[in-house]
Every structure is written in C-alpha cells, then in structure tokens.
Chains A and B, each alone.
Chain A
C-alpha cells in the first residue's frame, strides 16, 4: 500500500481539476491529482463542442453580452443559479479565460485570412481547432500543462473513500490503482472533488465509462449537503445507435461560419425543431428541444428511445465540413451525408445540481472538503464555468490552508476500506451477483422510474426497486475472478454501490420538488411554480436519514416574470 502526503489532493483530471492544480502549483502549494481515467482524456470535458463568447469578447455587442448571461441563467439553469456568481464568472471568462488558453498555445480556429471563425447570431461562439471537437485539444493542452508543471498525477486510480480526521474534517483519500490492483492513500490538508457532472446512472447516459457518481456518493457518505440533484438535463439529439455512441450528439447549436444548424424531424417526416427558427436565443437549446420533443412524444410522433431524426439535409456538405466535425457520424456509418438524417434518442446528460458549495471559496459543508466543476450544485458545468471553479477553489484553499489541520493516518478507516474492497473481489455469500448486471439494473430503474417524465408513483416504485436491489443483490456482489490487475469487473462492483447511493438521492430529490421546471418534468405537477419552487432544493444528511430545506436565489439581473405556468408552455 502506497501512502503519500501532500498539501492538496484533487480527485479528477478534467477541466476543473486540472485548472485547480495548475493554479495551486503557481501558488507554490504541493498538489497531487488522482484520476479515475487519464488526466485530460477521460470524463466529460472532452465533449466541449465549442466555446461560448461571454461579455464583450471579440466584438460582442452589449446586447450579445447580455444574451449570453440570460441564456446561462434562464435556458441553462432555469433561474436556479446565484446571479451574482454568474456575473463574477462571466467577467472572469471575458478577461482571463480566453487569453490564458491562447497564451498557453490553444489554437482558436481562424480562416486562411487570419480571422477568428465565429458562429453568428444573438449569442456567439468560437472553437478550438474544430467545432464539435474543441474539448479534445483543450484538454490535451491541460494534460501537457500539468506535465510541464511537474504536478504529480496518479492515473487510472479510483478513489473509493474519503478519510476523516478525528474532528470530522477530511484527511485525504483512499484509492485503488486499477491497472495493478494496489491500494494508495493520499493524505492532504484539503481535498478537492472534481469528478464531473455526467454520471452513467441511466440506461442512456452521456457520462463516460468511468463516471459512476463517485463524487456524489462519497461526499454524501462524508456528510456533505446536496442541492437540486433532481435537475437532470437531457440531450435530445444523441444518436440512437450504436450503443457506444450514445453520447455522440448531433449538435443543435449554430455552426461556425454558417447561419444554419441541425434540424429535427418526427416519425412522419415533419420538422419539429430548428434552433435558428424556433429559438435563436437558446444558444444551447437543449431544454427548448426537449420540450419540443415531449410534445411530439405526446402526439405519438416520436419516442424518447428513438423514432425521430436529426441532421443537415438542408445544408451543403462544405458548409458543415468547413469548421465542424459533424459529418463524421454519418460518414462512419456509410450514410449519404448530408442527405440522410440519423435516428436520435434521449440521453441523460448532465446533472445541473450537485454538492452544495460556498461559491466564494468552493468549500462544501464538510471541513477540508472542496468541490470544483460540474459536481458542484451551483451551476450546470459548462467548460468555461468549471474552469472558473478551478481558479476559485485554488484561491479558496490557499486562503484557508493555514487553518486546515495536518492529516494523520486514520488506521482503522483504512483497514475497513481495504476489507470492504477485498470482499468485493473475493467475498460475498451464495451465488454471485455480477457487477456489470447490477450496474445495468440500476440504470434500468432510473430510466423507467425517474426518466424524462416522472411522478410520485413512479419515483416511489424506483425507491422500492433500490431497496430490493440492496436487499437481494448487493450482499452477493463480487467480481467473477480474483485477479487484481486491470480487473474492471472489480471496479464495476465498487462503482455500482456508488451508483445506488447517488441514484437514491436523485430520486428522493425528485420527489421533493413538486413542480416541473425546464428539463425536470413531473406528470403530477406539470406547472413551473415560481411561488414555491424558485428555490434551491437542499438535501442534508441527518443521522442515518436525511432532511430537505429550501434556500432562495439571488435574482439581481433576471427574473422569470410569472408566478405559475404550464412548463411545456414556458420558453425556457
């Protein structure tokens, strides 16, 4: 068992975790990154398609700057966001974010004349190298900045538990190095969780293989409070097949260098969504699209699992291929591009909510535990926003480091965790329950009982299903073979327990919010209710149980402007 001591340990190697590490390093604070995948190559950050211009960047007008703020608050967060935080974040993105990336070498796409290629319209965006693929060079740059800085990284290592000091503060993390099967402990004064926002909790999810809500589950067990876990976003435009491409999106937002964007048609061939016509302000029109699709589903002209189509048959091929990677899906399937549309389906995308944080420091409710990125419940986790989190958390930790205690090695907790993991490899009673199957059954419950549209009955049935899984399957859970090296079956067993914990919290939070809001649709409460629910839905741990609490938001810039309305009739 390897034991390291550092000042700060960061769990996660995406946009938030890397930027936090780079900022801490600049401040001379010793930092270690533990990443379940590979730094800059796993997780959701790779999927950033393009980068939205905020503020007055690159000739944005005052109106475009205001539109960008409005779309973040309304369309992306349904007003469940601290607007003062949004202001601070927007100002930082406009003044620091783009120059920092470009100075470090990121190539923002130009044309042959040297002009930055921008998507035109009410909200504008640019791309790193190619639209649809911006996250790849963005994160590759971060990976290399981390290497250059000499920041220690422990990759392909799953953190399985947070360790505590005697006073309840966090002492560091316990992890399993997946490729060797060896354990590792990183003790630190501060622990930053940056594990992302897009877990594979549903049958169709954009979360990558390794994302299994570990951050939510571990932080909850450590006593952290959650907020708005029910606010689940959905992609309506991910390809319906093959299964491995379920996070491959036919991006609906405007194309770089063109006035057009993808259109969607129902099973009768009728167009029901084109962002340029249906909502030009909704730059990230996911919620608008989702509502349009829900109406098609209710009319029997689409299913959430397919039967509707998306593509670029109204565009010239060169128009799509000049600055985007959007044609690759069609071409790889041997489809006639752009004349053929592809069948698409709903996919659970990111969780807007997450762990509750103090947005001035990114501290959670547990001493010594900090959060950065989409895992936090403060915003939805676009790549620029989570990068800002990386800066804020580094400042927050640095300012408070002197007050955070030196960690000791909590021997008893380490032994308990080791035994728990060993029993998932070799223990269990009776006929084994296969970890892969358990994961699939959790996803099936979420899909059927807590999918796009849900109600108290389906949600309660979901809770009963989880109780049954805990009773009948979990005690028999173990890997098929006890091999230690690269045993992903063992990893699945570890993951699946986190998934059950997190899924239950999501369902409980969904039951609590008695309204519909944006992508959150309750059949039994179809109205958006700004009288009772323009509020954070906080979930606190209380003894062996839980309790809910409401907290109002700062609405200094934008307000919904109505008390109650049918959610499907609300534009955002």
Chain B
C-alpha cells in the first residue's frame, strides 16, 4: 500500500486517464476521411421511428454540422434547438448512440443514432421542454443573499474558498446530466432534484458569501440523498464539472450541518461504522427506523432468513479489529470538514 502511494507521488490523480482521453479525441477527429458518408439516424417524434440520412464528412465535423447539413438538404422540417454552436448556451444537447453529448461540441461517428434527451417531455423531434428543469432551479432561489453588507468592489474573497462554486459556475445548463441520471429516470418514485438543478444550487450554496438559511431551505426539498453516486452525470458533463465529488458531496455535507433531520440515514451509517469498524445492517435499520421497525416485521424476518441481518451481532455490539481505526479516521474527517 505504502509503495503504491509513494510510486504515485509524482502522478496527479486527477490527470489519470487524460492521455488516453486525448488519444481517443484524436481518433474521433481523424477516423473518417473527408467526403466519406456519415450515416445519421434521427428519432422523429411524429411516428417515433428512426429516419436515416447520409451526409458527406467535412473537416472536424460536429454532430450539429451533420444536423445542419441534413436540415439544409433533406429535412428542413427536422426540429433541433441550438443558439451559440460553441459550447456556451447549452441548448443543443442530444443523445448520440445512447450517450448525452452537446451536438455542437461532439465529433460525429461514422454511424450515429440521434435522439432527444431523456427525462424531459419532447416538444418535437430533438427539442425537449426545459420547463420542469427551470422550475426546479427557480425553486432553489438560485441567487446570492448576503448576511453582511457588501463592502464594495473588490470584496475580500479567495479562490480557495469559492473553488467548488467556481466549478459549478461552469455549468451551461445543457441538462445532459439530467438525461443521464438513473435516479431521475425513476420519475416520481423519489423527490431527487437531479444533478443539473443541484449544480445550479451549488453555484450559490457553495459560495462562502451565501446566507446559509437560504441554502437550508433549498436543500430541504432537494431529495439529495437519493443520489446513488453512480457518476453518470460526471461522465457526460461537457463542462467537465466534478458533479458528484465537487458539488453533490459538498452539498450533502451541508445538509448534515444545516438540515440534519434529512441526513438520518447517512449519519446513522457513519455512526455504525465509527463504532464497529464495519456496517451492521441491523443496527442501521434500528437507528434509522427506530420503533417503526415493528411495522415491518415480516420484512425483517425475510432479511433474517437471507442472512442480511444478524440480531445477535447487532445486540452484542460486535466490533471488528478496524473499529479503532475507523473511529479515528471518521473523527478526523469530522473535525476537518
């Protein structure tokens, strides 16, 4: 372990994979010869079918260039939204071969299926209704409210203190992450606001100048603990925002401080690990549900039969040898956060 840590001393972990990514970007920009056919299959909303088009490859062609070419030649009635064409307005996101991309930014594939974003109503063809997202953002009061008077320009502020908010400010609200999120896909089963609205919230909530009462109000209806940290959002974010690690995790930490009643499950989880050095599902259930466990006795029996819980271990306060270390580490992160 220590050897690995030492060996990786020279490597910036955040840059791991960047070289490979650059290689693949090079490949994506050079694998089709100019003039070769690009096959585009677009999901049309009138009949739900994929309509096929061919257009010749032009130098460094983007998905949007291909869409513009077929709109000019074959399908002027194809509906797709874009304004800036250069990764600033965030209105042209679509799914290409099942992956969310900004049409203006992504290189074309030799054969590609283009579909509208998921998790939002389709207006026509590739144009989605942005209003559900906009309503969520507005409900978070996404503006700065100061608790002390503004001292005048320039006010004292360090980049170090606003780093996470600064990352979130790169958001162009393209909703790629909102489309890729598997929890949003569950619909009304959860009250999860979704990655894009949380990034918008993070712009002010992670700003040291912001009124924490306003942050608490927003977080209390964010459903943020429904995030399963699958990193799908980060994977598709064209602005390269560390949505989970740089926004959602810090926001969760804020919930613990500002709205602790929302964080019963993670706080209980942490307490169990700190005490025992590992998770004990039985204790976790007892801590989170309290007396309400009595209402779900048949489910407890099923958990017992499948070996998911062990009442004896739970009640005897069984600890692993890692308990001491876990307590020490978790206490340390608590004092530093």
Contacts and interface: CB of A to CB of B under 8 A. Distances in A.
Interface of A: 37-38, 41-43, 46-47, 57-58, 98-99, 102-105, 107-114, 116, 129-130, 133, 135-137, 140, 144-145, 147-148, 179, 208-210, 241-248, 328, 331-335, 434-437, 440, 479-481, 483, 485-489, 492
B89 A99 contact: no
B318 interface: no
Contact of B158 (A37, A104, A113): A113
B86 to A, nearest CB: 5
Contacts of B160: 112
A41 B25 contact: no
B48 interface: no
Contact of A129 (B65, B138, B158, B170): B170
B68 A486 contact: no
B123 A102 contact: no
Interface string B245-285: 00000000000000000000000000000000000000000
Nearest to A141: B143
B36 to A, nearest CB: 15
A437 B65 CA distance: 15
A144 B152 CA distance: 22
A488 B68 CA distance: 12
Contacts of B80: 488
Contacts of A135: 88
Given A107-B169, A136-B88, A136-B170, 14 more contacts: A99-B152, A110-B157, A112-B159, A144-B143, A147-B142, A208-B85, A209-B82, A241-B58, A242-B58, A242-B60, A245-B85, A333-B60, A334-B30, A440-B72
B159 A111 contact: yes
Nearest to A179: B123
Contacts of B60: 241-242, 333
B165 interface: yes
Shortest beta-carbon contacts, A-B, top 5: A334-B26, A105-B144, A334-B25, A114-B158, A244-B85
B29 A99 contact: no
Contact of A245 (B25, B86, B154): B86
B8 to A, nearest CB: 21
Interface of B: 22-23, 25-30, 58-62, 64-65, 68, 71-72, 76-77, 79-91, 104-105, 123-125, 127, 129-130, 138, 141-144, 146, 150, 152-160, 162, 165-166, 169-170, 172-173, 203-204, 207, 209
6 contacts: A38-B89, A110-B157, A110-B162, A147-B142, A334-B27, A434-B72
Contacts of A489: 71, 76-77
A244 B58 contact: no
Given A242-B60, A334-B29, A104 B144 contact: yes
Given A105-B144, A133-B170, A244 B138 contact: no
Contacts of B87: 328
A480 B77 contact: yes
A436 B77 CA distance: 10
Contact of B83 (A41, A58, A133): A41
Contacts of A480: 76-77
Given A102-B150, A179-B123, A209 B59 contact: no
A247 B88 CA distance: 11
A481 to B, nearest CB: 4
A244 to B, nearest CB: 4
A489 to B, nearest CB: 4
Given A334-B30, A479-B76, A38 B157 contact: no
Given A243-B58, A334-B22, A37 B89 contact: yes
A208 B84 CA distance: 5
Contact of B65 (A136, A244, A248): A244
A158 B157 CA distance: 41
Contacts of A485: 79, 123-124
B159 A109 contact: yes
Given A47-B88, A483-B124, A486-B127, A492 B76 contact: yes
Nearest to B69: A243
Contacts of B130: 38
A244 B64 contact: yes
Contacts of B84: 42, 46-47, 208-209, 247
B15 to A, nearest CB: 12
Which of B127, B153, B160, B172 has the most A CB atoms < 10 Å from its CB?
B153
Nearest to A248: B86
B123 to A, nearest CB: 5
B76 A436 contact: yes
A57 B152 CA distance: 12
A147 B134 CA distance: 10
A58 B152 CA distance: 12
A145 B60 CA distance: 38
Given A136-B172, A243-B58, A435 B76 contact: yes
B40 to A, nearest CB: 15
A140 B204 CA distance: 12
B100 to A, nearest CB: 16
A110 B158 contact: yes
B240 to A, nearest CB: 9
Contact of A110 (B26, B61, B159): B159
Given A107-B165, A479-B77, A489-B77, A41 B89 contact: yes
Given A107-B162, A244-B62, A333 B29 contact: yes
Nearest to A132: B88
A208 B142 contact: no
A483 B77 contact: yes
A350 to B, nearest CB: 15
Given A145-B143, A244-B65, A436-B76, A208 B89 contact: yes
B142 A144 contact: yes
A479 B65 CA distance: 21
